[in-house]
Amino acid sequence: MSTRRTTRLARWAATLVVGALALSGCEFDGAYDLPLPGSPVSDDNSYEVTAEFADILNIVPKSPVYVDDVTVGEVTDVERVGWHARVTMRVRDDVTLPDNAVAEIRQVSLLGEKYVALEAPTDAEATGQLGEGDNIPLSATGRNPEVEEVLGALSFLLSGGGVGQLGTITQELNNVMDGRTGNLRHLLGSLESVVGTLDAQKADIVSALESLNNLTATLNAEKRTITDALDVAGPAVEVLADQHDELIPMLRALDRLGKVGTRVIGASKDDILKSLAHLRPVLTRLHEAGDSLAPGLNLLVSFPFPKEASEIVKGDYANTSIRADISLENLLPAGGQLPPIDIPSPGEVLTQVEKCLKSGSITSKACVKVLQDLNLLGKLKKTCKKDKYKDNPVCRILNALPSLPGLPGLPGLGRLVSELASGAPTGDASEWGLYGGAAP
């Protein structure tokens, strides 16, 4: 009876296998192709993605796929591609992941099963959306260390690593700190203060480093100029070295001069301040003179001559010969006719002045008589200053002659008139001769 029952069960199992093969219409890869109950995802409500792994440990088909510790899919295929593995996963279509998602192989517990974890990237901004047929590259995948690897590293540390050296280091640290705990505590406190100060001055330190960077860039750009300057500085340093014996006494003398100067200034400070106070009104007046001061100083060099005479004045003497050629025709209006002159007759005193002005010639008898009389000459000069007589030939000649302070009436003017009338040059080469007369 049992044998029949066993045979009957074998037939049912064979029938199920044949049915499964008929329904799939594909080749049979083993138990992984058998439809198992309890799958976390169906083909109709999911999308398929692949991921490249350098090492998949013991990940196999039907291994779960997690997102935030929640099962959202399963591994459907694992294949070798060159020197790495490609894992095909099916994920529920209600799970939203970025297009640049990362995949890692993790373990549920110390001895638990392996699974594939999908999550958004932590070192970059999430972009796009993961969808059907997308591939996660090898650079975005990884795995956690195995328990065997951790235990192997720990075994290396305990057996031949740094554990034996830790004892030596600890002992030496104890020897160093023995009896110096107070100093170490003070050192740590000071170090905390220094670190705090550096942190507070962080912006200034960054600014200083940036300025140093700019300075370095400038120096690098001017490297040729700096090199030339250093090449030139070499001979200069040699000259200073040769003059060392002379420079030392000079600096000592300057030191003594500074001490004497300080003593003199300290002793005469009150007098200097008083002198400066007295000088202040003078400087104020000079400032008020303004632009008028410069022309006056320019004329002062050649006084009483015009500024052009500065070329012939040598110190306190002048050595030159001047010939004056005056043509009355150049002083008369066009046509050589004298303009009508309306001169009032104020009395007998102005009669000679009136005749002189009416004559239109400074060499006339009336003008010679006026020029030889100081009173008449003063009246004539006063009359010629009026605007109505500025074009009179006599007034034009009289106003063109310079006046010298301290020479009342120009007593030698009559001689000038006689020389102009005769055409003979004067023989006197002195400054008085410039005005037609001899020195008194």
Question: Is residue 180 over pLDDT 90?
Answer: no
- DSSP, collapsed to helix, strand or coil, labels residue 114 as strand
Q: Is the dihedral of CA 24, 25, 26, 28 positive or negative?
A: positive
Instruction: Between 150 and 269, name the one with better pLDDT.
Output: 269
CA distance 69 to 47: 19
CA distance 192 to 73: 53
Q: What is the DSSP letter of 280?
A: H
Q: What is the DSSP letter of 367?
A: H
Read off the tokens for 383. 């009359």
Read off the tokens for 5. 């029952």
> Edge to edge, what strands does the sheet with 141-143 contain?
135-136, 46-53, 84-92, 70-81, 64-67, 114-119, 102-107, 141-143
Q: Are 371 and 355 in contact (CB under 8 A)?
A: no
User: Rounded to 10 degrees, what is the CA torsion of 427, 429, 433, 439?
Assistant: -100
- DSSP, collapsed to helix, strand or coil, labels residue 129 as coil
Question: Is residue 302 over pLDDT 80?
Answer: no
| pTM of the entire predicted model | 0.33
CA distance 84 to 74: 20
Mean pLDDT for the stretch of residues 253-258? 91
Question: Is residue 131 over pLDDT 80?
Answer: yes
pLDDT recorded at residue 40: 75
Question: Is residue 211 over pLDDT 90?
Answer: yes
Q: Are 376 and 353 in contact (CB under 8 A)?
A: yes
pLDDT recorded at residue 65: 93
Question: Is residue 85 over pLDDT 90?
Answer: yes
**Terminal CA-CA length for the chain:** 181
CA distances from 284 to 176, 197, 272, 289 (A): 79, 56, 18, 9
Mean pLDDT for the stretch of residues 94-110? 89
The per-residue pLDDT for range 213-251, each reduced to its tens digit, is 999 999 999 999 999 888 888 888 888 888 888 989 999
Average the pLDDT over each of 17-31, 57-71, 82-96 and give the range with the smallest value. Answer: 17-31
How many alpha carbons fall within 13 Å on the CB side of residue 299?
7
Question: Is residue 335 over pLDDT 70?
Answer: no
Read off the tokens for 150. 């951790």
How many alpha carbons fall within 13 Å on the CB side of residue 160?
1
H or E segment to which residue 122 belongs: none
CA distance 272 to 295: 31
Taking residue 266's Cβ as centre, other Cβ atoms within 10 Å add up to: 9
Read off the tokens for 440. 């008194």
Which residue has tokens 């306190």? 316
pLDDT recorded at residue 57: 83
pLDDT recorded at residue 404: 42
Please name which of 343, 420, 423 lies closest in space to residue 379, comparing C-alpha atoms. Answer: 343
* Angle formed at CA 432 by CA 428 and CA 436, multiple of 5 degrees: 70
CA distance 360 to 367: 9
Question: Is residue 184 over pLDDT 50?
Answer: yes
Q: Is the dihedral of CA 146, 148, 150, 156 positive or negative?
A: negative
Question: Is residue 432 over pLDDT 60?
Answer: no
Query: CB within 8 A of 7, min separation 6: which ones?
Result: none
Beta-bridge partners for 136: 51
CA distances from 142 to 71, 106, 221 (A): 19, 9, 48
Alpha-helical regions (H) of 317-359: 328-331, 351-359
